[in-house]
């Protein structure tokens, strides 16, 4: 097996035929592809307790404040007076009052409130959380979604790794290869970029045939040996042709969804992207990353976070609700995370600055026990540089978070893959957080 070859892990259970047919009526997906039908049959035969099949990453670009979202310390010196804590569907767990709909879904969600890292720069910290490794000048590590796609195989005709509303640093394939980079697309209210021919179907087909002939005649047969193995040129052209003619592309569209459903997710780009994520998971896409940027609240933190939560709350809650109703949540792990948190101290501009010394990630579905909170941050932090670790109880690092995700997806994260420069690399150096695993 070559370094970029994925083992044939088959197509594990994902959804039942009944739940998929029900989803057709709800979401407006008035179509069934052979792939979707095969997945439905597999779901009916799947054993209980099977690993998760797919991953949704809700990425909060900029670093969301833990104190105004999932780790409020209402009434303490570090809390904004306007932020209140509210009870949730999980006994004993309170979250900020800016997330009332998510509070109703907390029995499905578990929190790691004690994440710590050594990266306080946006780009470096984003890389750290998305890959589980700190940046290394000698190689680029693959993101979680790239690993999932590398370690599984199926016949989905559209990209298996998708990033909707991508920011500056979307998920990458790293040393696994560019073919595992996330396919980038934007607000689902618009068209998918670069998949619709600008000429007639007949003329487009002739152009593609001519391109293939040029590739084979001028390169593969003489000038450059092993062209497809080195550049994946023919493979990429064939995949693009399948995608451009596939009915599965409709999973990106939300224009046919009932208005009531779109309103439930929130009629925002992020809300529409979360609805599209559910539809993409239905047809077999392995990983969907949905970004909500704008959390870098160095000034007027409370107001900006409350505004962001107004976008996040309906979309996140509806995504979990509809995954559960369509029998998809058990086979789909949903990770909510940003690159770091925000300082306990409010700065003179009313903002909170970068804080990797105790922040929160949330996990749901896909073999994760719901209704749990791992670790604590102090309502009275010392804030002195040499006391940061004392402000967090039961601290967990980024490596352990990523190992937990990969383990829940049934991936042997300790296996070593040979990189293009011959360096053996494991997918994660962490250990799964046992308290979270069902």
- When computed from its CA atoms, the radius of gyration of the chain, rounded to whole angstroms, is 22
pLDDT in tens, 167-197: 999 999 999 999 999 999 999 998 776 666 6
d(CA 36, CA 29): 11
Residue 144, SS3 per DSSP: helix
Q: Is the pLDDT of residue 8 over 90?
A: no
Is 163 in contact with 170 (CB distance < 8 Å)? yes
Residue scoring higher pLDDT (438 or 115) = 115
Q: For position 160, what pLDDT does the model report?
A: 94
Q: For position 23, what pLDDT does the model report?
A: 38
CA atoms within 13 A on the CB side of 91: 0
Instruction: Give the Å distances, CA to CA, from 288 to 41, 144, 278.
Output: 23, 11, 9
Lowest mean pLDDT among 184-193, 261-270, 335-344: 184-193
Q: Is the pLDDT of residue 21 over 60?
A: no
pLDDT in tens, 120-157: 999 999 999 999 999 999 999 999 999 999 999 888 88
Q: For position 57, what pLDDT does the model report?
A: 98
Is 19 in contact with 44 (CB distance < 8 Å)? no
Report the chain's mean pLDDT, rounded to a whole number. Answer: 85
For the chain, give percent helix, strand, coil, nearest 5. 40, 15, 45
Nearest to 297 by CA among 335, 246, 350, 258: 350
Looking at 3.40.720.10, 2.130.10.10, 3.40.190.10, 2.60.120.1440, the CATH number of the domain 17-189+259-436 comes to 3.40.720.10
Q: What residue spans define the domains of the chain?
A: 17-189+259-436, 192-253
Q: For position 239, what pLDDT does the model report?
A: 63
User: Could you tell me the pTM of the whole model?
Assistant: 0.84
Q: For position 205, what pLDDT does the model report?
A: 72
Percent above pLDDT 90 for the chain: 68
> How does DSSP classify residue 334?
E
Q: Is the pLDDT of residue 107 over 60?
A: yes
Q: Is the pLDDT of residue 19 over 70?
A: no
């Amino acid at each position: 097996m070559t370094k970029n070859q994925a083992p044939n892990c088959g197509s594990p259970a994902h959804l039942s035929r009944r739940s998929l047919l029900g989803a057709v009526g709800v979401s407006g997906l008035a179509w069934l592809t052979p792939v979707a039908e095969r997945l439905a049959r597999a779901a009916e035969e799947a054993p209980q307790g099977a690993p998760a099949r797919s991953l949704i990453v809700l990425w909060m670009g900029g670093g969301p404040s833990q104190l105004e979202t999932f780790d409020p310390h209402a009434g303490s010196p570090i809390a904004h007076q306007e932020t209140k804590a509210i009870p949730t569907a999980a006994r004993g767990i309170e979250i900020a009052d800016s997330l009332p709909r998510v509070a109703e879904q907390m029995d499905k969600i578990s929190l790691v409130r004690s994440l710590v890292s050594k990266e306080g720069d946006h780009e470096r910290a984003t890389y750290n959380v998305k890959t589980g490794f700190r940046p290394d000048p000698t190689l680029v590590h693959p993101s979680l979604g790239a690993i999932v796609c590398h370690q599984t195989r199926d016949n989905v005709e559209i990209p298996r790794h998708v990033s909707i509303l991508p920011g500056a640093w979307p998920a990458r394939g790293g040393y696994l290869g560019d073919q595992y980079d996330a396919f980038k697309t934007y607000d689902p209210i618009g068209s998918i970029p670069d998949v619709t021919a600008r000429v007639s179907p007949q003329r487009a087909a002739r152009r593609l045939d001519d391109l293939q002939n040029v590739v084979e005649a001028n390169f593969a047969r003489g000038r450059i040996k092993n062209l497809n193995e080195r550049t994946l040129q023919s493979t990429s052209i064939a995949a693009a042709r399948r995608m451009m003619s596939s009915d599965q592309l409709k999973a990106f569209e939300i224009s046919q969804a009932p208005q009531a459903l779109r309103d439930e997710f929130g009629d925002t780009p992020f809300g529409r992207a979360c609805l599209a994520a559910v539809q993409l998971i239905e047809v077999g896409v392995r990983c969907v990353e949905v970004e909500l940027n704008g959390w870098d609240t160095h000034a007027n933190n409370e107001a900006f976070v409350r505004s962001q939560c107004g976008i996040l709350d309906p979309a996140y809650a509806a995504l979990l609700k509809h995954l559960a109703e369509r029998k998809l949540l058990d086979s789909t792990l949903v990770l909510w995370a940003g690159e770091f948190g925000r300082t306990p101290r409010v700065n003179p501009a009313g903002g909170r600055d970068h804080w990797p010394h105790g922040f929160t990630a949330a996990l749901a579905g896909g073999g994760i026990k719901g209704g749990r909170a791992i670790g604590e941050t102090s309502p009275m932090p010392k804030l002195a540089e040499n006391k940061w670790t004392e402000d967090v109880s039961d601290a967990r690092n980024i490596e352990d978070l990523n190992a937990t995700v990969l383990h829940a997806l049934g991936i042997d994260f300790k296996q070593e893959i040979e990189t293009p420069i011959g360096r053996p690399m494991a997918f994660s150096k962490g250990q799964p957080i046992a308290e979270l695993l069902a």
